[in-house]
Structure 1
Amino acid sequence: MQTIIVVLGIVALYVVLEAVRELHTFRKVYYTVSARELNGMKRSRKVVFLSDLHNASYGKENQRLYRAIREEKPDIILIGGDMLVGKRSSSYEGTLSFLIRLAKLCPVYYANGNHEQKMKENARFYEGRYDRYRSALETNGICMLENRREAFLWDGAKICLTGLEIPLWGYKKQGGKPVVKRDLDRLIKKEEDGFEIVLAHNPKYMKVYEKWGGNLFLSGHYHGGIVGFPGNRGILSPDFRLFPPYTAGKHKLSEKATAIISRGLGVHTLPFRLWNPAELVIITLQGEKGNGNSRKTAGI
């Protein structure tokens, strides 16, 4: 019996220490996505994807995270939402300063998560804080994609960046109706050509996004499922579903569509991670002649 108690004590201590460690570190995760629509590019392009920072700071002024991004020399930075916390008592000044610094490295595109959207749609309650936040971002060159699309060329390849902002009722923990394709059609029309990257914060509706259309879907929101399991699975979603799909990692949805879900960089309501490290996602985009299945990680 004493041996069992000692073993349980060691296991409990390990869990506590590992959970504390994961709250203060992040890792880099690398993916490669290949597509015929990208064959017009003369070279591969590097995308850094950030999601669910929730005002976390890795070092003073988020210097560790900033350096990790800068050393990748990205061509573009994409933000998938929930960079702040939707509470009146929460300050976003540190996050804002960090994002403004990023905008000096390369173009930055930002799609909202439910925290930003909640602040926007309840402007009076939040005393206009979201409007001031968005204005400061746009003043410093960050492009906000609120149910809108930006298109540009990388050499001979047309790239479309779309930010989907689903209705807030799609995030309800109980009693909310599901988001369907018709809801997305009302928000924004599908682009018919080019390689389309869709920033869609909530991966719960990944099959709906795929039906709506796009080539690469980038999501977050689930924080990796709180506790990680093999096969990019987590134990719990924010709407309290057990073992939900699409909690992390890269998923091939169809011949032309891929999803990448970030475990996020921060926490909020439940400040806990286990076997589920925070992550900075780096994606290499290339023509289809390359290998689209590579993945590696590096701890920070």
Structure 2
Amino acid sequence: MKKFLVSLVSILAITGLATVALNKKLKHVTYQFQDQNIKTPVHIAVLTDLHNNLYGPEQVELIEEIKATNPDLILLVGDIFEVNNGTDNAKYLLEWVGANYPAYFVTGNHEYYTKEILPLKELVESYHIKVLDGDVAVLKVGETYLQIGGMDDGKHSTNYPNQMRQLNENFDSSMESYNILLSHRPEIFEDFNDLPLDLILSGHTHGGQWRIPGLINGLFAPDQGLFPKYAGGEYDLGNRNLVISRGLIYQSKIPRIFNRPELVTIELVNVENE
């Protein structure tokens, strides 16, 4: 009987640990930043690395989660589509996003893997979502001005140098604004040192796939290898911040361990209001 009880407790403990480790429930993560140029508070929903995954019929579950964050705008930071996996699931989300919010999109590596990059950009813009590929958009939210720049995936775009020049020309350093850059890959943040930025938003890493909270932030990330420095979360880069979303993907060949998919919200507030 004693051996049976020990075995039973061990099985229950292992089952419980595995249930927590493999939890795929979407998690909300919020980052708050203060700046004197934030006259009116701004809420931003950040969507990355959907990889055409489906959250309920026609994305209804994901849509409800986004609506609950009450965003003023939505930023899509690459790998919304997935090579050889169709586009329907991504299209459900894009159609709703473009119909309800100001929204901006940059490509990731998986958009390039489809070999249909131009048709995909046209598809995104057909939903009234602005594709940023060297552009800088200006958006006013209340009394706050945002400059939002973005560029194609830094590894696969043959137009990368030209887009960098465009960004340098298009960001207005004299404007009293909060400046955001969308870059799918986080590890290339030093390429943007000359830009007048406050915040860089990235994805791509999937949170390092496997994590041990408090010990290992991520086991592996593309282009960074084992134990990546920039796996997920918030990073202080001195005169700006980098936020890496762990992404929305929950169905993949490699299971996520202690690494739930996440919906990121950015809250921008004035220093005096905090």
TM-score interval, smaller chain: 0.7 to 0.9
Match of 1:158 among 126, 137, 145: 145
Match of 1:189 among 165, 168, 185: 168
**Cα distance in 2 between the residues matched to 1:135 and 1:183:** 20
1:104 aligns with 2:91: no
3-state DSSP of counterpart to 1:233: coil
Fraction of identical pairs, as percent: 25
Matches within 5 A, 1:72-111: 72-87=69-84, 90-111=85-106
User: How does the TM-score come out when normalised to structure 2?
Assistant: 0.84
Match of 1:278 among 258, 261, 264: 261
1:259 aligned residue: 242
**Cα distance in 1 between the residues matched to 2:182 and 2:93:** 20
Residue 16 of structure 1: how far off its partner (Å): 4.2
Q: 8 Å contact 1:85–1:268 — kept in the other structure?
A: no
Report how many aligned residue pairs link the two structures.
Answer: 264
Match of 1:17 among 12, 16, 19: 19
Matches within 5 A, 1:1-300: 13-14=15-16, 16-22=18-24, 25-38=25-38, 41=39, 43-87=40-84, 90-119=85-114, 122-123=115-116, 130-168=117-155, 185-186=164-165, 188-189=167-168, 191=171, 192-193=173-174, 194-230=177-213, 233-239=217-223, 241-254=225-238, 256-267=239-250, 270-291=253-274
Are residues 185 and 60 of structure 1, via their aligned partners in 2, closer, same or farther at CA, if it must alter by over 3 Å?
Answer: closer
Are residues 208 and 271 of structure 1, via their aligned partners in 2, closer, same or farther at CA, if it must alter by over 3 Å?
Answer: same
Amino acid at match of 2:29: V
- Unaligned segments of structure 2, at least 5 residues: none
More displaced 10-residue stretch of structure 1: 207-216 or 138-147: 207-216
Are residues 187 and 166 of structure 1, via their aligned partners in 2, closer, same or farther at CA, if it must alter by over 3 Å?
Answer: farther
**Cα distance in 2 between the residues matched to 1:133 and 1:183:** 21
3-state DSSP of counterpart to 2:37: helix
Q: 8 Å contact 2:136–2:147 — kept in the other structure?
A: yes
Q: 8 Å contact 1:34–1:285 — kept in the other structure?
A: yes
Amino acid at match of 2:103: V
- Unaligned segments of structure 1, at least 5 residues: 124-129, 171-180, 292-300
CA deviations 1:224-281 (Å, max 9, x no partner) are: 0011233582111123611111211112211x31111100000566431111111000
**Cα distance in 2 between the residues matched to 1:213 and 1:15:** 45
3-state DSSP of counterpart to 2:168: coil
Q: 8 Å contact 2:199–2:241 — kept in the other structure?
A: yes
3-state DSSP of counterpart to 1:135: helix
Are residues 216 and 167 of structure 1, via their aligned partners in 2, closer, same or farther at CA, if it must alter by over 3 Å?
Answer: closer
Residue 198 of structure 1: how far off its partner (Å): 0.5
Residue 157 of structure 1: how far off its partner (Å): 3.6
**Cα distance in 2 between the residues matched to 1:47 and 1:5:** 49
3-state DSSP of counterpart to 2:228: coil
**Cα distance in 2 between the residues matched to 1:35 and 1:261:** 20
